[in-house]
């Protein structure tokens, strides 16, 4: 699988192949062989050259490794062909989706409310952590698809912002 990773102002080309718990990765021409496991959702253990690294991947984006936080944006170049940046919604509709199964604990807005980019929309509890889902663009809340207390699955569209 070919991906692009935006870290700060640099974009890195990544080729990842997975065979069970073994991963081979080519990052900007450097090759890595890792063993991997996922002891719990969003937490990964990587073993490389007899060292173990723990990585937490936030549903909102960002990765924490060894207490250091990195703002990383991953994109699939195949999915972006002919489109703008994945966060560039322009005048179109933006979908707010869940990254993992959970429960809606709070709805912070109502249909018709005006939002700025980054405003909180819905709070989802997953794995005993509450995650505030934020608006990816300025706009108006067009639709809220779930009620407080609803159970949601990974990938469900929670709200639409126009």
Taking the whole predicted model, whether its pTM rises above 0.75 is answered as no
> What's the token pair of residue 135?
């608006």
Give the model confidence (pLDDT) of 110-134 as tens digits.
999 999 988 999 999 887 888 888 8
Average pLDDT, the chain: 83
85 compared with 100, residue with greater pLDDT: 100
Which CATH class, in words, describes the domain spanning 2-79? alpha beta
Give burial (CB, 10 Å; 0-12/13-18/19+) of 158: buried
Q: Taking a C-beta distance cutoff of 8 angstroms, is the pair 14, 24 a contact?
A: no
Domain ranges for the chain, please list them.
2-79, 94-161
Q: Could you tell me which CATH number the domain at 94-161 has?
A: 2.40.50.100
């Amino acid at each position: 699988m070919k991906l692009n990773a935006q870290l700060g102002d640099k974009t890195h080309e990544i080729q990842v192949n997975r065979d069970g718990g073994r991963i081979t990765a080519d990052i900007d021409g450097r090759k890595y062989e890792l063993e991997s496991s996922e002891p719990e959702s969003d937490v990964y253990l990587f073993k490389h050259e007899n060292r173990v690294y723990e990585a937490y991947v936030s549903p909102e984006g960002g990765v924490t490794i060894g207490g250091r936080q990195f703002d990383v944006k991953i994109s699939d170049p195949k999915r972006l062909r002919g489109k703008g940046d994945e966060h560039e919604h322009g005048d179109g509709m933006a979908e707010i989706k869940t990254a993992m199964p959970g429960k809606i604990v709070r709805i912070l807005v109502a249909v018709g409310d005006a939002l700025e980019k980054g405003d909180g929309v819905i709070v989802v509890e997953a794995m005993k952590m509450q995650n505030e889902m934020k608006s990816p663009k300025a706009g108006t809340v067009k639709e809220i698809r779930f009620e407080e207390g609803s159970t949601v699955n990974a990938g469900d569209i929670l709200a639409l912002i126009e």
